[in-house]
């Protein structure tokens, strides 16, 4: 991969951003490659996933990481990291360190999308979950990760919701005891049930906040996914503000469509400004697709984050 072809020394001019460069088909203003494919000084730690820049960087994961770093992205998310070969995990960890990038979340537990697990209180489910947590400690050490997503899973229709939450709280307390000595953090993620994940127990910010307060551990916090909460509850900035002391990690995706910012209804410039002014120093995971394919889609993705990151400080 010849990175000189897309790295330029010039800085993105204020005029280019002021043009309102977006990615919608109805109102797209193209930026030159010399403006897009350079290293940008983003205000927040936006973290792509593998595959987002395959057309520019190729299939090799390390080359993709180098490309992300060359564009100015300061984090990486990889939900499936736990399933990668140990050698690849180690290679990714070394490249992240060499690039000065941070590892974001990977999924710590095997998720059953169709039947209750942690909500049921079943001992076998609990033991499998805790084994996943122990394995995730080893993976985190290889890639220098701190944050790991835990999805409590499906509702148990035969059990009162309060008892289900207590079962989840117990499981998270047990998992936090494993994580705490290593400085690792579970981030529980409320998911929407209207479009993507019908039947999930954990759906709302206030519910996640209540669970974290009950677990009462520095190793159990909230992953606030703005895509899911745009669907579930709206009122996003006030809800984040109310639960702010338990939110160290964000994920984004526009709605409808779960694509990059400015392809839906969410004003991510305002959301990013809010979290920046709160002093947020965590990762913003780019857990979404792209509205266009090929290299043009990857450039549109970069342009969308430049626009969303263009807020006054």
pTM for this model (two decimals):
0.89
pLDDT score for 7: 40
- Average pLDDT of the chain, as a whole number: 91
C-alpha torsion angle, residues 79, 309, 12, 35 (rounded to 10): 40
Instruction: Work out the number of other CB atoms within 10 angstroms of the CB of residue 263.
Output: 25
In three state form, how does the secondary structure of 227-259 look? Answer: HHHHHHCCCHHHHHHHCHHHCCEEEECCCCCCC
pLDDT score for 35: 83
pLDDT tops 90 at residue 23:
no
Distance CA 64, CA 298 (A): 12
Burial state string for 221-255 with b = 16 or more CB within 10 A and e = fewer than 16: bbbbbbbbbbbbeeebeebbeebbebbbbbbbbbb
Instruction: Determine the average pLDDT of the residues in 276-283.
Output: 98
Instruction: Determine the average pLDDT of the residues in 249-264.
Output: 98
Instruction: Determine the average pLDDT of the residues in 90-119.
Output: 96
Strand-pairing partners, residue 185, are 147
pLDDT by residue (tens digit) across 121-160?
A: 999 999 999 999 999 999 999 999 999 999 999 999 999 9
pLDDT tops 50 at residue 15:
no
Give percent above pLDDT 90 in the chain: 88
Which architecture does CATH list for 38-308? Alpha-Beta Barrel (3.20)
Contact partners, residue 19, CB within 8 Å, separation at least 6 = 29
∠ CA 269-272-274 to the nearest 5 degrees? 110
Distance CA 179, CA 173 (A): 10
pLDDT score for 9: 33
pLDDT score for 120: 97
C-alpha torsion angle, residues 129, 132, 134, 139 (rounded to 10): -150
Give percent above pLDDT 70 in the chain: 89
pLDDT by residue (tens digit) across 167-194?
A: 999 999 999 999 999 999 999 999 999 9
Q: CB burial class (10 A; 0-12, 13-18, 19+) of residue 179?
A: buried
Give the residue from 238, 231, 278 showing the smallest Cα distance to 252: 231
Band of pLDDT at residue 28, cut at 50, 70 and 90:
very low
pLDDT score for 22: 39
Band of pLDDT at residue 31, cut at 50, 70 and 90:
low
């Amino acid at each position: 991969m010849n990175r000189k072809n897309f790295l330029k020394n010039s800085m993105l001019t204020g005029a280019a951003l002021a043009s309102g460069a977006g990615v919608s088909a109805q109102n797209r203003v193209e930026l030159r490659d010399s403006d897009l494919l350079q290293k940008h000084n983003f205000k927040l730690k936006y973290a792509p996933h593998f595959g987002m820049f395959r057309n520019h960087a190729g299939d090799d994961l390390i080359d993709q990481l180098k490309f992300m770093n060359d564009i100015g992205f300061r984090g990486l998310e990889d939900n499936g990291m736990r399933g990668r070969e140990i050698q690849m995990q180690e290679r990714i960890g070394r490249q992240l360190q060499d690039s000065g990038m941070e590892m974001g979340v990977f999924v710590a537990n095997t998720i059953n999308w169709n039947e209750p697990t942690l909500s049921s209180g079943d001992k076998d489910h609990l033991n499998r979950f805790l084994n996943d947590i122990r394995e995730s400690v080893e993976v985190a050490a290889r890639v220098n990760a701190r944050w790991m997503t835990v999805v409590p899973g499906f509702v148990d229709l035969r059990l009162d919701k309060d008892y289900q939450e207590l079962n989840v709280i117990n499981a998270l307390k047990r998992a936090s005891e494993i994580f705490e000595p290593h400085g690792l953090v579970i981030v529980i993620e409320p998911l929407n049930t209207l479009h993507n994940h019908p039947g999930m127990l954990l759906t709302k910010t206030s519910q996640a906040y209540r669970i974290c307060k009950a677990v009462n551990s520095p190793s159990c916090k909230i992953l606030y996914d703005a895509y899911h909460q745009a669907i579930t509850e709206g009122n996003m900035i006030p809800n984040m503000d109310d639960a702010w002391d338990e939110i160290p990690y964000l994920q984004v995706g526009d709605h409808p469509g779960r694509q990059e910012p400015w392809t839906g209804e969410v004003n991510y410039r305002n959301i990013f400004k809010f979290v920046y002014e709160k002093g947020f120093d965590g990762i913003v995971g780019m857990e979404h697709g792209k509205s266009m394919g090929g290299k043009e889609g990857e450039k549109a993705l970069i342009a969308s984050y430049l626009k969303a990151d263009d807020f006054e400080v």
